[in-house]
Amino acid sequence: MKVRTNFLSARARGAIGGVLASAVLLVSFGVGTPSASAATIRSASLSPFCSTIINFRPGLPPSVKNLKSYKAWAKSLIPYYEKLASEAPNAATKAAFNEVVVVLKYYSNSASLAKLDASVLKYNAKWEKGSKDIANAIISCAKQLE
């Protein structure tokens, strides 16, 4: 009997790492506001989408070796990304966030490590494409703070 020492394959961990790094960088770019007084002056003009992005405080992801905590973490992110999709500034950004929601729902309900590995690799290409639309929306939010 082969004992699996890692929760996900190296390729899947790399893909998840890339997706998470992109998401954290993109979202935290919007979180890095100037001084509190400058943010207060501009906050009245921020869209709901930009306010949601700026106020996001991401938690650390769980160990990829623990399926139960990983599933709970993915499930906890779903409402945030659904809110971003509903507030998205355009159809392309909305579609990208809806793809993230689909992926998180799959992750939060996955019972098979092999299927989860395959899913990570399958959705990685969609995430890379959609991340450009998300990045543009976040950059637009950052410009509102200038």
Per-residue pLDDT of the chain (146 residues; tens, 9 = 90+): 444 444 455 555 555 555 555 555 455 444 444 444 444 444 457 899 999 988 888 777 777 677 788 888 889 899 999 999 999 999 999 999 998 888 888 888 887 767 777 777 877 777 788 888 899 998 998 888 87
- Residue 129 covered by a domain: yes
Q: Is 4 contained in some domain?
A: no
Domain boundaries, position 115: 10-56+63-145
Q: Is 123 domain-assigned?
A: yes
Q: Token match 């590995």: residue?
A: 117
Helix (H) or strand (E) holding 59: none
What's the whole-model pTM score? 0.66
Of the candidates 92, 99, 88, 90, the one whose C-alpha atom is nearest the C-alpha of residue 126 is 99
- For residue 5, being part of any structural domain is answered with no
Residue 2 domain-assigned (yes or no): no
User: What is the spatial distance between Cα 88 and Cα 143, in angstroms, rounded to a whole number?
Assistant: 16
Total domains in the fold of the chain: 1
Q: Where do we find the tokens 């935290």?
A: 28
pLDDT for the residue numbered 3: 43
Residue 1 lies in a domain: no
